[in-house]
Amino acid sequence: MDQIGEKALDLGSVRFTGKIDYVTVQTAGRTALPSLKGRAVWPKSHGGRRLTIHDAVRGDVDAIVATLGNLRLVEFEIAIDVRPAPHVPESCRRQLLEQVMVDIFARGLDPSAGQGMSSAFRAFYRRLDKGYVVQPFNIALPRPTDQQL
């Protein structure tokens, strides 16, 4: 068990899955690309000198490097989903997710402290019946169902 504040978290009670949300690289200019599983976008604001691949997989990254050579990495965003393990009773799931998403991620992690990391503000995205809201952590903490940015 890992100790989080005064609460103990059994990591066997949660399942983590991760994926590349998107990767952006600096290029010499727009060029033909190999077949990719992710969606390639050449942002107009960079005149073909940046390539973003949304929902990229490892094979996409390998294919881009094989085609375009080693490129400067501009942005790399990963998405990590957290779910209760199947053995966790339904009555305990919300509290478990709150412990992980709020107590650990929102209160405990400081990604901007890492070397080379952006000090961009931290916030969460919450879907509403009509639209959504983006709220900084210094105003409110997220709910277990919110997407943390």
57-71 pLDDT, tens digit each: 999 999 999 999 989
Residue 132 lies in a domain: yes
> In the prediction, which pLDDT does 106 show?
74
- Across all residues in the chain, what is the average pLDDT? 84
**Domain membership of residue 105 as a residue range:** 87-148
Residue 9 lies in a domain: no
Res 1 pLDDT > 50: no
**Rounded distance between C-alpha atoms, residue 40 and residue 105, angstroms:** 30
Alpha helices in the chain (DSSP H): 58-68, 90-98, 107-108
Cα 18 to Cα 11, 46, 71, 83, 135: the distances in Å are: 16, 29, 23, 12, 23
Number of domains in the chain: 2
144 vs 16: which has the higher pLDDT: 16
Query: What residues does 133 pair with on adjacent strands?
Result: 126
Q: Are 46 and 99 within one domain? A: no
- pLDDT band for position 111 (50/70/90)? low
Q: Which of 58, 78, 98 is the last residue of a domain?
A: 78
Neighbours of 143 (CB within 10 A): 14
Q: Which of 78, 102, 123 is the last residue of a domain?
A: 78
Q: Are 47 and 96 within one domain? A: no
Predicted TM-score (pTM) of this structure: 0.67
